[in-house]
Amino acid sequence: MRVKSSERGRDALAGLHVVVNAGPTYEDIDPVRFLGNRSSGKMGFAIAEAASLAGAAVTLVAGPVALATPAKVALRVDVRSARQMRDAVLEAVRGADVFIATAAVADWRVATYSSRKLKKGARGAPVLELVENPDILAEVAALDRRPFVVGFAAETERLAERAREKLVHKKLDMLVANLVDEHVGIGADDNAVELFWPGGSEALPRASKLEIATALVARIAQRFRDRSRA
């Protein structure tokens, strides 16, 4: 996908505070093991870069990733767990205009963390009791003074159906959804996504994540302006 000149606007988000969360979260089991996922953070970092190039003051809340902070990002906050990310996001979105939730936050964590390394033994593998992590996206969307909220959904099937369900259920302003496999999406350098909002949708064909991010930021800016005029 080639980014149109109209999508390269340097001031589309001028004067706005945009919060982006990115990457995975790691939920520690013991001092050497954790529950995690394959998210690299590349999509979220590309969106943070595109939003800053569009004039926004960007706060980037990053899970454990091996990525350099984009040059124009105003503030980066590094976290590890879902609960740390929740606290950082809720602090950052106070007074923010837009929240873009790209992070692949772990759905579960272990109920009891072991301060000692779990050892193999005659009893076999340990049984891990899991509890749900907070739903950061839903919590931000439910705030009384909420920003414009953009969610992400990675699916392996029934993309449009599940994206629409999530858009409505979590009361989002926009949802970005993509099908994932070993060749596109998580961990890859490119992506292909579909955008959903109340009353509309649009597909962005496969391209580099920065190109996708630039086009996406243009759509977010337009939808934000449309909502502000309503």
The strand pairing partners of 17, in sequence order, are 57
pLDDT digits (tens, 9 = 90+) for 128-148: 999 999 999 999 999 999 999
Q: What is the pTM of this model?
A: 0.91
- The answer to whether 21 is a known catalytic residue is no
Write down the pLDDT at residue 65. Answer: 97
Which pLDDT tens digit goes with each residue over 210-221? 999 999 999 999
Inform me whether the pLDDT recorded for 173 exceeds 70.
Answer: yes
Task: Determine the straight-line distance between the first and last CA of the chain, rounded to whole angstroms.
Answer: 31
Q: Tell me how far apart the alpha carbons of residues 213 and 45 are, in angstroms, rounded to a whole number.
A: 9
Q: Let me know: does 174 contact 196? Beta carbons within 8 Å.
A: yes
Across the chain, the runs of DSSP E, i.e. the strands, are 17-22, 27-30, 33-35, 57-62, 75-78, 98-101, 108-110, 130-132, 148-155, 174-179, 190-197, 200-208
CATH superfamily assigned to domain 11-107+127-229:
CoaB-like (3.40.50.10300)
The catalytic position among 37, 133, 178, 191 is: 37
Each domain of the chain, given as residue ranges in start order, spans: 11-107+127-229
d(CA 171, CA 46): 25
The neighbouring-strand residues paired with 194 are: 177, 203
